[in-house]
Amino acid sequence: MIGGSAGSLEVLFRLLPLLRPDLPFPVALVLHRRNSSDSSLAELLGSKTLNPTQEVEDKEPITPGTIYLAPADYHLLIEQDRTFSLDYSEKINFSRPSIDVSFESAAEIYGPGLVGILLSGANEDGTGGLMAVKRAGGRAVVQNPDTAQMPFMPHYALTHLAIDHVFDTIQMAAFINSLV
């Protein structure tokens, strides 16, 4: 699961083309975006990768190899039956979707099999979620703050918990491609 805010789209535009087309697991993208965002962002991201890419729909089964985008203005949750659930509860860290909410939900379901990746951004969202990923036995990865357009988000995570890996975009792609 990948979370990001300001500056993260640039990273994804460079990262997605580097991902192998036969990923054996799903990738969920939780990005802070305006409430008025339309679903063309999923098409734009999809144009950067050979993997099927789509915006999440409520109660949709999670399919390996697919890249999912959390819709604007909904928290993205993972259910026990490994389907997505969309939630319209209050904003967390001024954000909906909240990276924390999604990472925490995924950590409950995927436990040690989860990798949480936090990209560029300008607030604290994502750090609490990465803590939940670590508590569940998963791995926490952040974008190297020196390469982030908005370094606050990955830097905040680095100063508040033990991060497993700090990567630039090329290293991040190689890491994701190496996961089984």
The residues carrying an active-site annotation are 5, 32, 125
**Residue 3 · residue 116 · CB < 8 Å:** yes
Which whole-number Å values give the CA distances from 67 to 61, 63, 70, 153, 160, in the listed order?
Answer: 13, 9, 10, 22, 29
CA quadruple 87, 67, 36, 125: dihedral positive or negative? positive
- Our separate counts of H helices and E strands in the chain read 6, 9
DSSP string, 93-105: TTBSS-HHHHHHH
**Residue 6 · residue 99 · CB < 8 Å:** no
